[in-house]
Amino acid sequence: MPKDNGIGASPKRREDVRFLTGRGQYTDDIKLKNQCQAMFVRSQVANGVIKSIDTSVAAGMPGVLAIFTGEDFTEVGGNPAGWLINSRDGEPMKEPKRPVLAHGKVRHVGDAYAAVIAETHEQALDAAEAIDADIDELPAVIDMADALANTDNLVHDEIETNQCFDWGWIEDNRAATDEAIKNAPHVTTLELVNNRLVPNAMETRASTGDYNPGTGDYTLYTTSQNPHLTRLLISAFVMGIPENKLTIIAPDVGGGFGSKIYHYGEEALVLAASKKLGRPVAWTATRSEAFLTDAHGRDHKTTIELATDKEGNFLAIRTSTLANVGAYLSNFSTVTPTFLHGTVISGNYTVPHIYVNLKAVFTNTAPVDAYRGAGRPEATYSVERVIDKCARELGMSPLEIRRKNFIKKEQFPFATAAGLEYDSGDYHALVDKLEEIADFKGFAARKAESASRGLLRGLGVNTYVEACGLAPSNLAGVLGARVGLFEAATVRVNATGNISVMTGSHSHGQGHETVFPQLVADMLGMSADDIDIVHGDTSKIPFGMGTYGSRSMSVGGSAIVKATEKIIDKASKIAAHMMEAGEGDIEFNDGVFSVTGTDKSVSFPEVAFKAYVPHDYPHDKLEPGLEETAFYDPANFTYPSGAYACEVEVDPETGKVTVCSMAAADDVGNVINPMIVEGQIQGGLGQGIGQALVENCVYNDDGQLLTGSYMDYTMPRADDLPFFTTDQTTLTPCTHNPLGAKGCGEAGAIGSPPTVINAVVDALSDLGVTHIDMPASPARVWAAIQAAS
């Protein structure tokens, strides 16, 4: 039985007390003495040449302290892409500079070309409006196919086309895949769109720069998922501030979903402005700025072909995709559509031949980067949609065709044709579990009942496998990563026996402050209440690569386990000394060190006290203190998987889709806190349903964002979602990390969009509809019904 707050228990989230009582401390809550305000002047046009910027009027306005333009940053570096991707011909990707402020050209609506610092927010706003820029508008590059075809109109003049790279995965598999498709008895082809999304974290981005002229130290308070990574980017690439002179503090952060992984120009600006003025400089994005400038997600156009024999055995998959990277390369923008997408095209299946081609395209839109799931939702959607279509063409049930092609339990570890080695999984068991929880047998009756009310009912199913727990540094390095992807932790046992754990895994909604203490408590046999987590401050924690890619438990948690093992190791030595026994005779169970075969024992707090009060201490053998740091680098990705089912009702008169039920059987490996895992799964399902049915980021041909507020960008709301039926008991532990955990943060968002669309298409299949693009909005569904009938 799990302890009430150890591994397997579900204590309530301790951080919620402060969040729910208004005691959180977000970046905008931090008011530093003498703080002044920054305001950005942003482009109203998508593409234009900056002829001149007249700041003279603004400079003389009340309260104005400084004005910056792109000119002021020509000597500093650009914000880089974190992964170097090579094209099929071996050429490295095109990497135009991403400046702190636009210089020479503006490249998307919202691109900042000037910034005003003033005493108050209102004064900065007044002055920002008084800045007079002469910008020659150019035609906007928006449509990806047009962008590739038209080289007269460029997002970046210094590169000759709008193509960032043309990637093949795996290029050596191309000929065999082509051949297999050419000779296949059956090929199902599907063209689909993975709709562009705006992340919409509840807290908008905010940054406060604080330079201390007395010490030369910089502090940046910012909304980051990974403060050390931000420090590294600012220090090594953008501003050259030495890492030892720069502290990044990401305090409470209200959600990120990927959008706060990245370093943004506003962070560099407030640091530079603080240096110039010798005062703290603060900025908080409005919601409009968030829509215009947070890195967006998804935005793929894909053609996928699935070749099978007549019995539905998969022979080959080939995909061709255009991926929008927007106007500038954001930090993870090149790895997301490539290695986080192409490598999981094999899905849960044995597919002998796989070839993925992906062209990344610059457009005059906001940068596009990793967003909850990051590449894997795009792959899963393509594969699971084409399988569904194939099953209909072959007259097979969607479960039958999947079961037939699953990788079998006994085949693990399994090397796919897309270049990954899945360590563990049991996909047949997941589908069996899904059948149990989703009540497929009752569907026909429910469909008839819906029909009696004039509604079309559909059932959609699919499976997914994803690669997360980012990432083995050696493999990432081979694939072009410019950083390592380990995680670090320090476990500090205080003299009185309580513990502080410093982790590089930043928590911005995940519940780390609750779940990480459970690990340490379980290992040390103590109460989690005596353990606290410290995160989000580069001056307090050893290092960290941050939170994304469902890596916090499998990588960050493993680092904590490793550091705690070191604590136990050292404490055992102290205990051996205390009990005058040999180290090899010491046992540690439930917080008590004992000598094998005797009744001698000392408790963990007694050992901790001895470590800090080392009277009678073997200084020749042991150092005082009880604090250990560990870095953990995973041996492989982790591979969560799942099987989902969804039932929808479609109103054929209005096209409105209602999600009636959603069942999710997930294998996320070993579970530390079932309640938190359940919350992560449910949140992901909600986000996936949002993508499938309502969310859509749309630019018009002029590059104006049509969905720039909640009046037009639809977020899923509680009444859009059904009660979820979930299960995480069909688990196969990860084989290569000490916890056996695989990750659960992105699973729901990866697995659920195809489930919903498969259900909508199923509902409309009698009318002859074979596909509908996301989001399946009422107008789009109605139009599809009209077109079919």
Q: Shortest gap between Cβ of 711 and another protein (angstroms)? A: 4
Residues 109 to 128 in contact with another protein, rule: CB under 8 A? 125
* Residue whose tokens read 């639809």: 714
Q: Shortest gap between Cβ of 693 and another protein (angstroms)? A: 8
Total Cβ atoms within 10 A of residue 569: 12
Residue 604 vs 699, nearer CB to another protein: 699
Query: Is 90 buried (19+), middle (13-18) or exposed (0-12) by CB count in 10 A?
Result: exposed
Beta strand 281-284 with 206-212: parallel, antiparallel or unpaired? Answer: antiparallel
By the rule CB under 8 A, 650 interacts with another protein: no
Residue 489 vs 781, nearer CB to another protein: 781
By the rule CB under 8 A, 598 interacts with another protein: no
8 A C-beta contact, residue 103 and residue 74: yes
Residue 514 vs 777, nearer CB to another protein: 777
Residue 54 vs 710, nearer CB to another protein: 710
Residue 175 vs 706, nearer CB to another protein: 706
Residue 696 vs 730, nearer CB to another protein: 696
Residue 365 vs 594, nearer CB to another protein: 365
Contact letters for another protein, residues 272-311 (x by CB under 8 A): ----------------x-----------------------
Q: Shortest gap between Cβ of 715 and another protein (angstroms)? A: 8
Q: Which of 653, 701, 729, 788 binds another protein (CB under 8 A)?
A: 653
8 A C-beta contact, residue 741 and residue 554: yes
DSSP string, 355-373: EEEEEEEE-SS--B---TT
Contact letters for another protein, residues 694-713 (x by CB under 8 A): x-x-x-------xx--xxxx
Contact letters for another protein, residues 236-275 (x by CB under 8 A): ----------------------------------------
Query: Is 478 buried (19+), middle (13-18) or exposed (0-12) by CB count in 10 A?
Result: exposed
By the rule CB under 8 A, 782 interacts with another protein: yes
Residues 759 to 778 in contact with another protein, rule: CB under 8 A? 777-778
- What is the Cα–Cα distance from 286 to 288, expressed in whole angstroms? 5
By the rule CB under 8 A, 779 interacts with another protein: yes
Residues 125 to 164 in contact with another protein, rule: CB under 8 A? 125, 129
Neighbouring residues of 697: CB distance < 8 A, sequence distance ≥ 6: 195, 196, 197, 198, 296, 299, 705, 707, 713
In one letter, which amino acid is 391? A
- What is the Cα–Cα distance from 708 to 188, expressed in whole angstroms? 37
Residue 151 vs 700, nearer CB to another protein: 700
Residues 352 to 381 in contact with another protein, rule: CB under 8 A? none
Residue 292 vs 470, nearer CB to another protein: 292
Residue 313 vs 704, nearer CB to another protein: 704
By the rule CB under 8 A, 478 interacts with another protein: no
Q: What are φ and ψ of residue 397, in 5° steps?
A: -80, 150
Size of the site for another protein (CB under 8 A): 23
Could you tell me which stretch among 164-172, 692-700, 753-761, 765-773 binds another protein (CB under 8 A)? 692-700
Could you tell me which stretch among 289-297, 348-356, 647-655, 747-755 binds another protein (CB under 8 A)? 647-655
Q: Shortest gap between Cβ of 202 and another protein (angstroms)? A: 16
- What is the Cα–Cα distance from 760 to 527, expressed in whole angstroms? 48
Residue 451 vs 698, nearer CB to another protein: 698
Residues 713 to 752 in contact with another protein, rule: CB under 8 A? 713-715
β-partners of residue 657 are: 650
Q: Long-range contacts: 2-6, Cβ < 8 Å, 24+?
A: 3/521, 3/522, 5/517, 5/518, 5/521, 5/527, 5/528, 5/529, 6/518, 6/521, 6/522, 6/528
Q: Long-range contacts: 414-418, Cβ < 8 Å, 24+?
A: 414/350, 416/343, 416/346, 416/351, 416/354, 417/170, 417/173, 417/346, 417/351, 417/352, 417/353, 417/354, 418/169, 418/170, 418/342, 418/343, 418/344, 418/345, 418/346, 418/351, 418/354, 418/356
Extract the tokens encoding 159.
């590169």
Q: Shortest gap between Cβ of 625 and another protein (angstroms)? A: 54
Applying CB under 8 A, the residues found at the interface with another protein are 125, 129, 288, 653-656, 694, 696, 698, 706-707, 710-715, 777-779, 782-783
